[in-house]
Structure 1
Amino acid sequence: MTATPTPSRPVWRTALLGSVAFVALLWVLEVVDQTTGSALDAEVFANGITPRDTDGLVGILLAPLLHGGFGHLAGNTVPLLVLGFLLLLSGVPRALAVTAVVWLTAGAGVWLVGAPGVHLGASVLVFGWLAFLLVRGVFARNLGQVALGLVLLVVYGGVLWGVLPGDPGVSWEGHLFGALGGIGAAAVLARPR
């Protein structure tokens, strides 16, 4: 008797589950952080990225998982869900590679040139994923991806002003280096096959 192969999960379902699971993880971490008196931000994860301080290096790996409260995380939730879903439609391995490039580029850039203080939040991923999705069609020479990039530019283009210095307490450096990481990932990972 031979085993019947199990049907694979549709790509859109994997993308939906992946984006929801990641955002749910961020919410669980923030609930734990808020119910323990910001223990994750202050003690366990060493306050995110502290530029040019060796104690802040661990923040490069952990800062996108931390937020400055529920309002901060709420502001990132919908873009993370939408952009994460769209990114995951290109496959989990590619989405993970893009995320790794964005995560490390943003973290290293903030650590090297960021303003004094603590930098944290998943908005670096929002800016990186958005930048990747905006330009990947150009690098891939794919008209459908270019069209998606144009739609995203109309819907989310206004947030791109966040790469410029502006609001005190907002890490424009994280936004800028996240976006640069997304463009770099597109240049390397979205070339035509």
Structure 2
Amino acid sequence: MKSKEHFQFSNGVVLYPIFFVLLIWVVFWVEIRFGIDFTKFGIYPQTITGLRGIFFSPFIHSGISHLYHNTIPLFVLTAALFYFYKPIAWKVILYGILVSGLITWSIGRPSYHIGASGLIYVLVSFTFFKGILAKYYRLIALSLLIVFLYGSMIWYVFPIVDGVSWEGHTAGLITGFLFALIFKKEIAKPKKYAWEEETFNEADDPFLKHFDEHGNFIEFPETNMEVDTPTEPLEENRPTIHYTFKPNKDTE
């Protein structure tokens, strides 16, 4: 993957997050406008019908407060994902919903688990661990920013608040970490300048290639210079070789 595919602003960086956020708000509006309760379409663990919630639960919320608290982090994290990890952004989102949903379905309590917080934890976890593994200053800075903004979310992977799906949060945290490992090669690499990529090859040096391994002069063709060899014998494996040159008489 080419590093130039990363860190490029495009319309999708803004439009995709806006579309995602608008979609969950539209679903909530439909519930309020027509008096429909979509909660039964959430994840209900260890049941066949509960499997459908893996796909539907991120778009269903219990109330305006639940929806509001998920909207801002979902927009920010999705925008960061499409900017810094554009080539794999959709994979992280779609597979993140699927895998975190399956884990929640496997370990969750017998209750309906709804909301986009599971996906949010996927994005937080992925962005943080990915930046650390990348060892690239921009991504590390992003990881530190994520810790600053959403570091307190770590407490909600434990059952400390009634009515909060800590199972979904834990599933998202695990999924994001696994994705950071799975997509380990899909990272932006720091730009290398020409001088960093150049390596010295002694065999290509136009001067050194005319001396043998002991520093003895072999030949110096196609030149108007003659060589004065040193009066003292060269030591074997001597690190530097000093020669003096005098103009050839033909060129004076």
Partner in structure 2 of residue 52 of structure 1: 46
TM-score, normalising length from structure 1?
0.87
Match for 1:19 among 12, 17, 21? 17
Quickly say closer, same or farther: Cα 1:93–1:30, change in 2 above 3 A: farther
Higher percent of residues as helix: 1
Deviations 1:97-119 (A, max 9, x none): 11123211211111111011100
Match for 2:96 among 97, 102, 123? 102
Indicate the structure (1 or 2) with the bigger Cα radius of gyration. Answer: 2
CA distance in 1, matches of 2:98, 2:72: 22
User: Aligned ranges for residues 144-159 of structure 1 at < 5 Å?
Assistant: 144-159=138-153
- Structure with bigger RCO (C-alpha 8 Å, 6+ apart): 1
Deviation of residue 20 (structure 1)? 1.0
2:132–2:143 Cα contact (<8 Å) kept? no
TM-score, normalising length from structure 2?
0.67
Q: Secondary structure at the match of 1:119?
A: coil
The percentage of aligned residue pairs carrying the same residue is 34
Aligned pairs, number: 180
Q: Quick check: 1:183 aligned with 2:181?
A: no
Partner in structure 2 of residue 35 of structure 1: 33
RMSD of the TM alignment (CA)? 1.6
2:96–2:172 Cα contact (<8 Å) kept? yes
Amino acid of the residue matched to residue 21 of structure 2? Answer: V
Point out the more displaced range, 173-182 or 134-143. Answer: 134-143
Amino acid of the residue matched to residue 52 of structure 1? Answer: Q
